[in-house]
């Protein structure tokens, strides 16, 4: 049993004075490319990472839900009879929101048993590595087992998304939960967010002596507020003005027409989504045909588009990307929703110490909070553990 699993089991026992039925876990994810394309019905290419959220859970003889986490002192309690999005707030809205959302996808919440759950995680919170999808997916697979729902993983991804949209109030897409639930070791999930078709594509980083370095700027983002929602609104406006159901229906050939019809800001938002969708397709094709050393330029172009057209970068992310490239990374971009969080740098293994040192020094020279740098590997998705 991993140290994390041991501490989750111990945490459950001390909070609830009982044994869990079992443990389940789900990974965070990093998005290799395809940012803000998911809610535009487009393409994304994330992978599950070797950082996980572990939950210990047991059903109860009554209708009570008790939720505890190593991140919070409080144990939150709610009856299944009171389980509505309006009654949820704070961190417990993630696990309890999943229980509610399962009811929207077939679980009969009028008859299921209550549960106790204890949660711990080594996915950094708020770093753009989706600790939120990790907690949702871990709870979703646990309840799918204990409530014997037999729901498919693609449905569980939609359950997690609904929880995040309705119970938490963050208007995020389906990408994070799909990566956390469908990911496989050494591979990324090529996801069509319209059809929800997912294809697992080998990354081949190890044989190419490449590592994916995360640079967590430790500038925190907040998806439920401000920028994320306004970008989403711009995309909806652009699609409406161009007469399509979503920006997915447009290609680079539509850009001249968009330039005629849209105001400058909406045009730039739309252009990011259109070109980013194309970059995802190009990345998948390039990986297959030429291998991972050939995708660097696409990562770089994605960053420029987010910085200049979608305007979701921050100076710390730009500094991380530029310094990593200067120190030998073959491609780098901010990842996740933006306004903070992490950048990724695809880096030859031998250069990881140099990139780490130079990025750290660049932040120190500007008096910025020291970033956290670490390598992640593509890992398997959610699973039942012991």
Question: 120 in the Ramachandran plot: left (φ > 0), alpha (ψ -120 to 50) or beta?
Answer: beta
Q: Which of 16, 39, 43, 94 binds ligand ADP (CB under 6 A)?
A: 94
Q: Which of 126, 160, 183, 381 binds ligand ADP (CB under 6 A)?
A: 126
Q: Which is nearer to Mg ion, 20 or 340 (CB)?
A: 340
Q: Is 69 helix (H, G, I), strand (E, B) or coil?
A: strand
* Least spacing, CB of residue 123 vs ligand ADP, in Å: 7
Q: Which is nearer to Mg ion, 132 or 275 (CB)?
A: 132
Q: Which is nearer to ligand ADP, 225 or 251 (CB)?
A: 225
Q: Which of 41, 176, 216, 300 is catalytic?
A: 176
| 119 contact, one of Mg ion, ligand ADP, none, CB 5-8 Å limit per kind | ligand ADP
Residue with the two structure tokens 């496989």: 184
Cβ partners under 8 Å of residue 291, min gap 6: 204, 208
Q: Identify which of 292, 284, 249, 297 has the alpha carbon closest to the alpha carbon of residue 270.
A: 249
Q: Does the protein bind Mg ion through residue 132 (CB under 5 A)?
A: yes
Cβ pair 82, 65 in contact under 8 A: no
| 91 contact, one of ligand ADP, Mg ion, none, CB 5-8 Å limit per kind | ligand ADP
176 noted as active-site residue: yes
Kindly compute the dihedral angle of the four CA atoms of residues 71, 74, 80, 86, in this order, to the nearest 10 degrees: -80
Q: Contact region for ligand ADP (CB under 6 A) — 15-23, 124-132, 234-242, 254-262?
A: 124-132
Q: Does the protein bind Mg ion through residue 137 (CB under 5 A)?
A: no
Q: Does the protein bind ligand ADP through residue 71 (CB under 6 A)?
A: yes
Q: Which is nearer to Mg ion, 132 or 234 (CB)?
A: 132
Cβ partners under 8 Å of residue 251, min gap 6: 274, 278
Cβ pair 248, 34 in contact under 8 A: no
Q: Which of 53, 283, 286, 302 binds ligand ADP (CB under 6 A)?
A: 53
| 94 contact, one of ligand ADP, Mg ion, none, CB 5-8 Å limit per kind | ligand ADP
* Least spacing, CB of residue 86 vs ligand ADP, in Å: 18
For 227, the enclosing helix (H) or strand (E) is helix 227-241
In the 3-class helix/strand/coil scheme, how is 19-52 assigned residue by residue?
Answer: CCCEEEEEEEEEEEECCCCHHHCCEEEEEEEEEE
* Least spacing, CB of residue 126 vs ligand ADP, in Å: 4
Q: Contact region for Mg ion (CB under 5 A) — 129-137, 268-276, 297-305, 374-382?
A: 129-137
Q: Within a 10 A sphere around the Cβ of 71, how many other Cβ atoms? A: 12
Q: Does the protein bind ligand ADP through residue 144 (CB under 6 A)?
A: no
Token duo for residue 54: 């572990």
> Which sequence positions are flagged as catalytic?
176
């Amino acid at each position: 049993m991993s140290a994390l699993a041991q501490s989750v089991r111990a945490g459950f026992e001390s909070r609830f004075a009982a044994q869990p039925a079992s443990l389940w876990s789900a990974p965070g994810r990093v998005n290799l490319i395809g940012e803000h394309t998911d809610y535009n019905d487009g393409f994304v290419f994330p992978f599950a990472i070797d950082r996980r959220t572990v939950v210990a859970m047991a059903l109860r003889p009554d209708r009570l839900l008790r939720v505890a986490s190593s991140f919070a002192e409080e144990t939150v309690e709610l009856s299944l009879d009171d389980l509505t999005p309006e009654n949820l707030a704070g961190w417990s809205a993630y696990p309890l929101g999943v229980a509610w959302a399962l009811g929207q996808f077939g679980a009969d919440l009028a008859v299921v048993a209550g549960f106790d759950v204890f949660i711990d995680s080594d996915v950094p919170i708020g770093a753009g590595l989706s600790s939120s999808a990790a907690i949702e997916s871990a709870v979703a697979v646990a309840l799918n087992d204990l409530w014997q729902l037999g729901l498919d993983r693609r449905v569980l991804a939609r359950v997690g998304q609904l929880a995040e949209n309705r119970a938490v109030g963050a208007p995020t897409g389906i990408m994070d939960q799909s990566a956390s639930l469908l990911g496989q070791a050494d591979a990324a999930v090529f996801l069509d967010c319209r059809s929800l078709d997912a294809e697992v594509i080998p990354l081949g980083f190890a044989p190419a002596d490449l590592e994916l370095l995360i640079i967590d700027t430790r500038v925190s983002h907040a998806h439920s507020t401000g920028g994320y929602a306004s970008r989403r609104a711009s995309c909806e406006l652009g699609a409406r003005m161009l007469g399509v159901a979503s920006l997915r229906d447009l290609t680079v050939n539509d850009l001249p027409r968009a330039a005629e019809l849209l105001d400058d800001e909406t045009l730039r938002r739309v252009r990011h989504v259109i070109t980013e969708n194309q970059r995802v397709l190009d990345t998948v094709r390039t990986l297959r045909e030429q291998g991972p050393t050939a995708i660097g330029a696409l990562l770089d172009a994605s960053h420029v588009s987010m910085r200049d057209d979608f305007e979701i970068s921050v100076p710390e992310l730009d500094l991380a990307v530029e310094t990593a490239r200067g120190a030998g990374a073959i491609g780098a971009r901010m990842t996740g929703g933006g306004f903070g969080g992490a950048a990724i740098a695809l880096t030859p293994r031998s250069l990881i110490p140099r990139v780490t040192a130079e990025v750290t020094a660049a932040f120190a020279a500007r008096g910025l909070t020291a970033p956290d740098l670490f390598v992640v590997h593509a890992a398997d998705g959610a699973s039942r553990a012991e």
